[in-house]
Amino acid sequence: MPRSSQTIPPRQPAKDLLTIANLSSRHISALIKQAKHLKSKRRAGKMPRPLVGKTLGLIFEKPSTRTRVSFEAGMNHLGGHSLFLEAEKIQLSRGESLSDTAQVLSGYLDGLVVRTFDQATLEEWATHATIPVINGLTDQCHPCQILADLFTISEKKKRLKGIKLAYVGDGNNVTHSLLEAGARMGMHVSVGCPTGYEPDQRIIEWSQEEATKTQATIEVTHDPLIAAENADVLYTDVWISMGQEREQKRRLKALTPYQLNERLLRKAKPGAIVMHCLPAHRGEEISTGALDGPQSVVLEQAENRLDMQNAILIDWLGRASS
């Protein structure tokens, strides 16, 4: 991801979900508990419908499969409706100010999911909207993905505290949210990445400071084998994120030694699980054997986006009307 001067924003009003750093460990645990409950209800065909009459808007400046479909399906499951608003097809693209757009949409909708590039743009939406704004992904972080990942890890490992998660590859938005989440929940997060591809230093420092309060550990190393040593969870993401296509050749050369593969699996604990937030490129950031092997939980991880985001929708949209 582009290295920016962005910092973790100050704690936001409760109406918005902008970063995991803005959530308490208690709130995260409650969301996981709710997601587990909703998953069992969904699979039993007995979903509650607390969002009847609610409408969610989705404004996306980046392509999406899982984020868009899971939010739209979730609103339908919960009794509400969703509107997909392509950024280039609304008046925002013709010069209407973001402030005006946010205030107008606040009169029509009950919540907004924004998927954009700059974290500052997301914060501007939250500042001007009077309805909840949920981060559907920025270049800085991806909180909905990582909340679902915490749910997946808790399902598979029965706990979060003390779990070692090793992330190998590019220190991108997913990495940032994993660092924040691990620090909040008392996990041990080890990031293995090449020089020049480290996570944002400000997020590393925030996570290390938070870790002192929760008995977590935060480590960044340039050796993927050190990162993977005795890990309970091995995690990776694409090497070339949206907007980085011109850097493909350079990125592939630098990141090839950081592939999540069988060599790393042998360094991890025997029962380690393999995670990837998808889409995946087999043979690049992850080997086919690791992605499709018996230790992989990537499809359950993707399914859990739906249940965690249902929990998020009930929390933020439901709270907005209470």
**Catalytic hit among 6, 119, 145, 309:** 145
CA-closest candidate to residue 209, choices 184, 187, 173, 172: 184
Q: Is 278 left (phi over 0), alpha (psi -120 to 50) or beta?
A: left
**Helices H, strands E: what count in the chain?**
12, 9
Known catalytic membership, residue 49? no
**Catalytic hit among 115, 176, 188, 251:** 115
**Catalytic hit among 277, 301, 307, 309:** 277
Known catalytic membership, residue 237? yes
- Alpha-carbon distance of 23 to 259, in angstroms, equals 31
**Catalytic hit among 110, 200, 232, 237:** 237
Angle at 74 between CA 72 and CA 80, to 5 degrees: 80
Question: Among the residues of the chain, which ranges form H helices?
Answer: 25-43, 66-77, 98-108, 119-128, 143-157, 173-184, 201-214, 224-228, 248-255, 262-267, 288-292, 298-320
Known catalytic membership, residue 115? yes
**Catalytic hit among 128, 176, 251, 305:** 305
CB under 8 Å to 246, separation ≥6 — which residues?
A: none
**Catalytic hit among 142, 176, 184, 251:** 142
Supply the DSSP symbol for 115: E
Known catalytic membership, residue 277? yes
Please give the positions annotated as active site. 115, 142, 145, 237, 277, 305
